[in-house]
């Protein structure tokens, strides 16, 4: 029987046929395509374009901020919620960090610590409104999306840019350490920690149960409100971390930092196989999703055709949006097909 066969299917087989594996395959294919189509040799015989190691580090460097946001959004979306405010919070935290250091005269480590606290508090605001007042996350975080960005603009009068950070701090965003871009050493542990939280700890179990069935989770005695609060606070703190890395990479903090990042982060999460309805999703899927988007963006910039058009950024955005639509449609296609089939059979019988 098919059922028993499926039951005895070894773990590696399940893993091999998972959505994440498929996505990984797509990522590899994508990378190979750009490797062959986007790498050239210049007149002096030096390899330039997509295939260089520098380019790989660049991809990693650029995916850190979006990656952090996307990874933090994964548990939020698994619980069936959403957080639109992460990009704005990134901007607010970047500004506050700059202000703490520049105007407040704090040392960099103190400023970082304080910024993380701000991130947690901002996440806590979302959490409080969503859990205590049972307001829909979509509209709450839409409000804080506006609020956080607005505060950032108010603080900087829309004009001030904090720069001239010490080089020791800029190292975090612009240099390599032990072979990898420095920010990777910050982002990867956070990614791993959230992966652990979602896949290896009881918290992840609660997130899924809440996402599938909030009532079912409550009847099982799970602390639904505390778990929901946790995911939004994590999203806040991680946004603050992303803000610091962002500031270190660019060497400046401006009020428009991270504008539109929430869209890319959500796209990466959904592309990574997390259901927007809640319940299913993996952090590694999100990471592959982030990588796929980053490779696309960087790879396009290396294609001679696109370089002539000078539209790599836009084209990658376009393709990302289209990719999201395709992934969404693919997700519901089996259901639609079986519905149509049922209707057809029903029609044939009567």
Q: Among residue numbers 65 through 84, which ones bind another protein (CB under 8 A)?
A: 82
Query: Is the dihedral angle over the CA atoms 313, 314, 319, 321 positive or is it negative?
Result: positive
Contact 85, 152 (CB under 8 A): no
Binding status of residue 46 toward another protein by CB under 8 A? no
Q: Return the residue of 266, 283, 295, 296 that touches another protein, per CB under 8 A.
A: 266
Binding status of residue 325 toward another protein by CB under 8 A? yes
Binding status of residue 218 toward another protein by CB under 8 A? yes
User: Helix 86-102 vs helix 224-250: angle between axes, to the nearest 10 degrees?
Assistant: 60
Q: Return the residue of 114, 222, 248, 287 that touches another protein, per CB under 8 A.
A: 222
Burial of 17-29, coded b for 16+ CB within 10 Å and e otherwise, reads eebbeebbeebee
Q: Which stretch binds another protein (CB under 8 A): 94-102, 179-187, 202-210, 234-242?
A: 202-210
Binding status of residue 10 toward another protein by CB under 8 A? no
Q: Return the residue of 113, 192, 332, 337 that touches another protein, per CB under 8 A.
A: 332
Q: Return the residue of 44, 45, 215, 308 that touches another protein, per CB under 8 A.
A: 215
Binding status of residue 276 toward another protein by CB under 8 A? yes
Binding status of residue 298 toward another protein by CB under 8 A? no
Nearest-approach distance from CB 120 to another protein, in angstroms: 19
Contact 93, 119 (CB under 8 A): yes
Binding status of residue 124 toward another protein by CB under 8 A? no
Contact 70, 265 (CB under 8 A): yes
Cβ closest to another protein, residue 141 vs residue 247: 141
The DSSP call for residue 48 is E
Give dist(CA 265, CA 200) in Å, integer: 23
Binding status of residue 17 toward another protein by CB under 8 A? no
Nearest-approach distance from CB 347 to another protein, in angstroms: 13
Q: What does the block give as tokens for 146?
A: 């506006």
Give the CA radius of gyration of the chain.
Answer: 22
Binding status of residue 200 toward another protein by CB under 8 A? yes
Residue with tokens 């409104």: 129
């Amino acid at each position: 029987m098919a059922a028993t066969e499926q039951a005895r299917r070894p773990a590696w087989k399940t893993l091999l046929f998972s959505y994440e594996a498929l996505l990984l395959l797509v990522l590899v294919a994508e990378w190979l395509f750009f490797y062959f189509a986007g790498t050239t040799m210049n007149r002096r015989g030096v390899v330039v374009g997509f295939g260089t190691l520098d380019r790989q580090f660049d991809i990693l460097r650029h995916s850190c901020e979006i990656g952090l946001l996307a990874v933090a959004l994964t548990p939020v979306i698994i619980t069936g919620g959403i957080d639109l405010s992460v990009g704005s919070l990134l901007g607010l935290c970047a500004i506050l960090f700059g202000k703490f250091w520049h105007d407040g005269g704090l040392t960099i480590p103190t400023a970082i610590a304080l910024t993380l606290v701000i991130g947690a508090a901002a996440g806590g605001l979302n959490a409080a409104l969503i859990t205590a007042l049972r307001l829909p996350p979509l509209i709450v975080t839409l409000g804080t999306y506006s609020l956080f960005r607005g505060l950032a603009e108010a603080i900087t009068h829309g004009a001030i840019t904090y720069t001239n950070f010490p080089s020791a701090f800029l190292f975090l965003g612009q240099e390599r350490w032990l072979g990898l871009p420095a920010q990777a050493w910050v982002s990867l542990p956070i990614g791993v920690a959230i992966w652990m939280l979602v896949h290896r700890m009881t918290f992840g179990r609660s997130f899924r149960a809440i996402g599938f069935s909030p009532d079912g989770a409550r009847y099982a005695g799970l602390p639904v409100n505390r778990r929901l609060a946790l995911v939004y606070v994590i999203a806040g703190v991680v946004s603050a971390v992303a803000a610091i890395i962002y500031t270190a990479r660019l060497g400046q903090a401006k009020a428009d930092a991270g504008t539109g990042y929430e869209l890319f982060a959500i796209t990466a999460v959904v592309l990574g196989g997390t259901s927007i309805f809640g319940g299913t999703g993996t952090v590694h899927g999100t990471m592959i999703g982030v990588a796929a988007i980053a490779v696309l963006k960087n790879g396009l910039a290396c294609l001679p055709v696109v370089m002539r058009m000078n539209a790599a950024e836009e084209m990658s955005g376009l393709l990302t949006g289209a990719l999201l639509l395709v992934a969404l449609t693919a997700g519901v296609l089996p259901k639609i097909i079986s519905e149509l089939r049922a209707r057809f059979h029903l029609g044939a019988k009567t």
